[in-house]
Structure 1
């Protein structure tokens, strides 16, 4: 068997190597997965800032592209009251607008600001403020107002000079009527095509000197710090603020804090969105994203571990089965070989040339008879075992007197083994029960025989106790034998399995207890064992009780 053990050790080493390999792969996978997740979070810190910027400047873009353009709907006919109403809606929806200046402009052939023959002048100027129910009339002489008006007047004059009366306005028409500078946006309502042709005529000196046209211009003063920051990725950015472009905080340890920035467009071009997050803050997001990856890796690892365990169990079972078969062949061969050898020797003596006395003939005849009985018993046990497994035996239940049944086997074994101490005790209420006497007798024979065989020479004792428990009858076989190791208790009822001990050196087929279990199960019962090494064992047979 040494060779087989070596094979098993090699297989076991292979399993250990496999488990070590997948464990190492798991550790590497967890480390790589964590580093990949950490790097991914850092990359998103840099890439998703534009999402925050887009959401934050969304109201400004809405003001620029939609709300300001509503001035066009009035076609230059806004007055101070309607302009106040419009200003109120701007302040209400765009809190970063902190002032609005309204210019009522007249375009004619005469005026203060002119380009060639086109004359543009501000008829009146009004200022509006948030959270105030009044407005005030301003003066064009105010430097800021004067500068805004002049720039827009020059834009209008330039556009009219380039205007093609045959083709109409070009695709870049709107750009001429917006004037965007840091902190403010000016807009002049876009004249209709008819007005642009009239302006063009005035510019060329062909229009009526008495004709005039109204235009509306508004300048929106913006405060970038009042823009509401929409941090749509709070998991990445612990702090988002609006800072001047020149802002550069000193003494930042970039190994502990990540920072980034996005410049703001248009009227906010002097400012930027400033992002910062401590690395500890990002670690929580890293862990949050890493957990599913770790879970998947652990699941794969568990599956591989299960596969490894199944492979090991399969190898272990196969090796144990191989060992059982190997032992069975060896033991079975030995069990057959010994009687056959004895029979052959006795037969040779009987047929020899030497004359034998009557006593010698009787002795050899007895040997032949005993050895033939051993072979027959062994063959019958194998045959019965096969029949039990195939359920091909019919149970014949007879009413049996319990005391007579038990005492009969005790008396038989006392005659067979005079030094064997046997005793019994029977519950007074347990008088009769129904069973198959042949099958039950085989159980008794095997358990009593084992109690004698596996006991020390000076402690060959067995006590049989019969009791009633609920609807069951219980037979307890209590010996003072060598006992069974705890780790072997689950194996002793397996077919062809035998314990290695000093009383089993000559081998056995390993069918005795397995045969008992099959018999008891066939009788709808159960057999269990409790044992302590060098103290003894107790085999308990539990059967349904029918009195």
Structure 2
């Protein structure tokens, strides 16, 4: 009869396909994530330059929005000394300002002034130049006030504001910027902002041209050197080098393939730009640095999927082994029951038949029935005891055992049962043992039966060595049987596990050694096995002297 195939099958091709699929997915994920990351870095290279510019021109913005408007607080009453002090604070905090020109102005209704707008004249009383020198301010008064284009431009703006502003409402920021600021490349001119009351007073002066009167006004021009701006590269991971260059700057041939971008500076810095440059390897390193955590995450997911696949495979493999164990157990257990039942049925049929039996035949059939019934009873008891051991429901009966007498009695029993079984023994200072003799006998029964069963017909030998340690007694059963392969040693004590060999085709359900293991554990001991193929096996049982 052909042996039926297992329901579960190891489909290695499916496993390989699964591994190939997730590996290809892993590679594609790495490629896509790297490409997207590279594109993202390139986009940042083009966009993050605004952050660098904002941080670089932050001092310039502070000068323009905060420091320069402080002039208004003097309301036109700055003189050379206070102007020098103000200039000193500017040079100290804004090193890119290389020179300041201070204009002390007056606005009146006399007609001999430089700028006349609707009977209102704006003229220069004095001009002072200031520049930094060895940590201090150097100043120079200019006596020739003619040909001052900065003053002319600002005077016209101021005259227009006085004549056209609405004194009923506050001026807008746009009106203030158009009237009191003049921003050109490299310089900023500023005059103090007139209050509505000041504008009203100046308009009254226009109505009385024959009554000379004047009002003070201040104006300053700041000359800026953009090269003195400190470049703040807030994205060093993107920009290898950032410099201030003229707008007309044309870089030499880019033979190295450097990545280049630029951004024009605002206001008085408009003739210059920030020039950004990075070597290809520089950005590649940044791409790789950012890709590392992404790649690690993708790798982690890949490993997780591989782990899931391995767990599924292991689970299927365990199911296959469990199915095989159950299949073999049912087959062998059926065989173990079938043989005694068949013999009992035959003997019972002969006893109940019509033919008369002699006394000798009747006794022979009775003996057969008793022997087969004992076999069935022994098998059932073993299963029942195994279940009780697993559920910890068996009761142990502690008795004092004379070890030497106990071992010799089993040896004699097996010599009678198997005349060809050569059994020797040795004792080393053994003390009385306190344990359950039935459980200990079951261990001896199974280990001695295995030693006989798994030995060559002409080499059935067993040596039992009994020794002791400080608190334990050690039983060593060494045979010269067929041995156990190294890869099968971890499984010999598992329930329903059978070693496939010519001596184990029938007549075993894989419970013997598992039963021994459970018994030894229940008795708080330990059992190990050492074996070599075709040389024999040694089972070593260590039990405490007192349970």
Q: TM-score range by the shorter chain?
A: over 0.9
The superposition leaves residues 62-115 of structure 1 with CA deviations (integer Å, 9 ceiling, x where unpaired) of 111111111111111111111100000000000000001111112222313333
Q: Which residue of 2 aligns with 1:29?
A: 29
Deviation for aligned residue 1:293: 2.2
Moved more, 297-306 or 50-59: 297-306
Moved more, 506-515 or 169-178: 169-178
- Are 2:176 and 1:191 equivalent residues in the alignment? no
Q: Which residue of 1 aligns with 2:411?
A: 410
Secondary structure at the aligned position of 1:8 is classed as coil
Moved more, 160-169 or 328-337: 160-169
For the 8 Å contact 2:258–2:278, the answer to whether it is kept is: yes
Deviation for aligned residue 1:209: 4.2
Q: Which residue of 2 aligns with 1:125?
A: 127
1: CA distance, partners of 2:3 / 2:249: 81
Moved more, 316-325 or 288-297: 288-297
Deviation for aligned residue 1:41: 1.6
Moved more, 131-140 or 528-537: 131-140
2: CA distance, partners of 1:170 / 1:351: 129
- Are 2:466 and 1:470 equivalent residues in the alignment? no
Moved more, 66-75 or 485-494: 485-494
For the 8 Å contact 2:130–2:138, the answer to whether it is kept is: yes
The superposition leaves residues 235-293 of structure 1 with CA deviations (integer Å, 9 ceiling, x where unpaired) of 22221111111223122258x42221111000000111111222322233323322332
The superposition leaves residues 164-205 of structure 1 with CA deviations (integer Å, 9 ceiling, x where unpaired) of 455574553321110100000011112232332343345x55
Summarize the Cα distance change of 1:64–1:332 in structure 2 as closer, same or farther, 3 Å threshold.
Answer: same
Summarize the Cα distance change of 1:325–1:165 in structure 2 as closer, same or farther, 3 Å threshold.
Answer: closer
- Are 2:45 and 1:45 equivalent residues in the alignment? yes
2: CA distance, partners of 1:78 / 1:161: 24
Q: Which residue of 1 aligns with 2:504?
A: 504
Q: Which residue of 1 aligns with 2:150?
A: 148
Moved more, 30-39 or 374-383: 30-39
For the 8 Å contact 1:181–1:266, the answer to whether it is kept is: yes
Moved more, 85-94 or 339-348: 339-348
Secondary structure at the aligned position of 1:392 is classed as coil
Q: Which residue of 2 aligns with 1:317?
A: 318
2: CA distance, partners of 1:337 / 1:84: 121
Q: Which residue of 2 aligns with 1:536?
A: 536
1: CA distance, partners of 2:282 / 2:169: 60
2: CA distance, partners of 1:413 / 1:405: 13
For the 8 Å contact 1:257–1:276, the answer to whether it is kept is: yes
2: CA distance, partners of 1:376 / 1:195: 125
Q: Which residue of 2 aligns with 1:449?
A: 449
Deviation for aligned residue 1:4: 4.6
Moved more, 417-426 or 315-324: 315-324
Summarize the Cα distance change of 1:217–1:505 in structure 2 as closer, same or farther, 3 Å threshold.
Answer: same
Secondary structure at the aligned position of 2:490 is classed as coil
Number of aligned positions between the proteins: 541
Secondary structure at the aligned position of 2:9 is classed as helix
TM-score, normalised via structure 2 length: 0.93
Moved more, 316-325 or 20-29: 20-29
Secondary structure at the aligned position of 1:27 is classed as helix
2: CA distance, partners of 1:171 / 1:342: 118
1:225-374 to 2 correspondences below 5 Å: 225-253=227-255, 256-374=257-375
User: Which among 140, 158, 183 is matched to residue 136 of structure 1?
Assistant: 140
Q: Which residue of 2 aligns with 1:515?
A: 515
Moved more, 509-518 or 282-291: 282-291
Deviation for aligned residue 1:2: 6.6
Q: Which residue of 1 aligns with 2:213?
A: 211
For the 8 Å contact 2:6–2:324, the answer to whether it is kept is: no
User: Which among 201, 221, 224 is matched to residue 222 of structure 1?
Assistant: 224
Secondary structure at the aligned position of 1:129 is classed as strand
Which sections of structure 1, spanning at least 5 residues, go unmatched? none
1: CA distance, partners of 2:461 / 2:495: 26
Deviation for aligned residue 1:223: 0.3
Summarize the Cα distance change of 1:365–1:168 in structure 2 as closer, same or farther, 3 Å threshold.
Answer: closer
Summarize the Cα distance change of 1:403–1:293 in structure 2 as closer, same or farther, 3 Å threshold.
Answer: same
2: CA distance, partners of 1:171 / 1:276: 38
- Are 2:526 and 1:526 equivalent residues in the alignment? yes
Deviation for aligned residue 1:14: 4.2
Summarize the Cα distance change of 1:112–1:295 in structure 2 as closer, same or farther, 3 Å threshold.
Answer: same
Q: Which residue of 2 aligns with 1:178?
A: 181
Deviation for aligned residue 1:356: 4.1
Deviation for aligned residue 1:212: 1.3
Q: Which residue of 2 aligns with 1:392?
A: 393
